[in-house]
Copies of this chain bind each other. A is one copy, B any other.
């Protein structure tokens, strides 16, 4: 990361806080930022650099992203929120078929089929998915939804509904089940299904009543604003969501107490709901993710923009979409995370990277905001200086800083926002994601957490398409 120059100066890469501190002590500091571009990208980088649309398109994409405030307006079943029909299954990441699906995605689909009553024994559902006659798979992202890990959504699951009140645009996410043996990590044992049924029968109605009551009295909860607070409270909103969960609990608890009777729920149900949410530090992840998607979707479809609007993994493929390339996915093989393992699990037990949760990094938090959550290194590995340096490094590939999401320890610098495909290709710096790790065998559940990056080749692929579109536009201009 750094080298020294003779005697009286320090060469510093990335960590400006250090650079400033050293400078204050009267040592000369040279800030350097140079790496070779990803190989083979030179011509495409030149084409995109020459695109007259690019600068303004990226500014518009960033502004559109910054303009969104995500509010929690409702909690409703997926059948109602998304029009999901029996036999339709959503999953994380880019499109995939059963034959290429990884263990944890398969496990979650089996469990989801049993939860929906399509089969009695989850394992009997494998035949359904193999034949494909009565079931279908579709990415969450294609239905204004994001799903953590396997990201399987079925019609009976309750969904958080987030809305940008300015435009009426909405995004969705299921309710978080907790950690360990849970459906999203590919587990489908009887206790997993029992928890899902309790969430369907008790937690969903309890949340619906309270979210609607808060919406109709104080106004819908500002999820973007809670994220602002979380980032000052040691959460990076991907693998630490403890403060966010507690603030959501604080905001909904009084209405839970007051609305439960109307919903036919008992004080015991309310107490159990409060305990479930309070006991699950990851509960807020399923609100952070659709808030990030809602903001990023505002930047979709801006011709010439090189900003990444989605990063998502299905356990087999890692895909990205950009503002300037419509709904096209640029994919490559999902990588194995490097991190810490639960119990006796080790690297051989882990599935490659999975889940739509990298939407948090796409929005500039999660791995991009590790500096504000140094305690995260105890979960995902690495050191505290690494965490600080990571956020600094992510600024090198970001178009902007988020004025609403600041990092106190970096002197309130805004989080790095808007991954720029051209900067990734030019610097070779890949987005840093921190993530849970699912067991690679269906049914196992979580085995650890760690750090991972996208496969390098997807950025040159996206760049090539952006360059192609730029050249087409240039040709049209030249022809006139």
For chain A, residues 1 to 27, give those with C-beta under 8 angstroms from any C-beta of chain B. Answer: 2, 4, 7-8, 10-12, 15, 17-18, 21-22, 25-27
Asked if A412 lies at the interface with its beta carbon under 8 angstroms from chain B, I say yes
Contacts of A15 in B (CB 8 A): 21
Contacts of A255 in B (CB 8 A): 271
Q: Which of A136-144, A147-155, A240-248, A395-403 contacts B (4 or more CB under 8 A)?
A: A240-248
Contacts of A18 in B (CB 8 A): 18, 21-22
Asked if A55 lies at the interface with its beta carbon under 8 angstroms from chain B, I say no
Asked if A100 lies at the interface with its beta carbon under 8 angstroms from chain B, I say no
Interface string of A243-264 (1 = CB under 8 A from B): 1001101110111011001000
With contacts A7-B7, A7-B8, A411-B383 taken as known, whether A243 is within 8 angstroms of B233 at the C-beta atoms is yes
Interface string of A383-410 (1 = CB under 8 A from B): 1110010000000000000000000111
Asked if A270 lies at the interface with its beta carbon under 8 angstroms from chain B, I say yes
The listed residue (B246, B257, B383, B411) touching A249 by CB distance below 8 A is B246
Task: Establish whether residues A25 and B8, one from each chain, have CB atoms under 8 Å apart when the complex forms.
Answer: no
Most-contacted residue by chain B among A12, A15, A385, A408 (CB, 10 A): A408
Contacts of A250 in B (CB 8 A): 246, 249, 274, 278
- Write the chain B residue with the least CB distance to A278: B250
Total chain A interface residues with beta-carbon distance under 8 A? 53
Asked if A118 lies at the interface with its beta carbon under 8 angstroms from chain B, I say no
* Cα–Cα distance between A258 and B278 once the two chains are bound (Å): 16
Number of copies: 2
Task: Establish whether residues B246 and A274, one from each chain, have CB atoms under 8 Å apart when the complex forms.
Answer: no
Give the Cβ gap from A239 to chain B, nearest Cβ, in Å. Answer: 14
* Cα–Cα distance between A22 and B384 once the two chains are bound (Å): 15
With contacts A243-B243, A257-B270, A384-B412 taken as known, whether A25 is within 8 angstroms of B7 at the C-beta atoms is no
Give the Cβ gap from A49 to chain B, nearest Cβ, in Å. Answer: 33
Interface string of A205-249 (1 = CB under 8 A from B): 000000000000000000000000100111100000011001101
13 chain-A/chain-B pairs, Cβ below 8 angstroms? A4-B27, A7-B8, A10-B27, A12-B25, A18-B21, A22-B22, A246-B249, A246-B250, A249-B250, A253-B274, A254-B278, A261-B267, A409-B409
Q: Given A17-B385, A254-B278, A374-B409, list of 11 further CB < 8 A pairs?
A: A2-B25, A4-B26, A7-B7, A10-B25, A10-B27, A22-B22, A233-B243, A243-B246, A249-B253, A257-B270, A258-B267
| 4 pairs of A and B residues whose beta carbons are closest in the complex | A246-B246, A250-B278, A374-B408, A254-B271
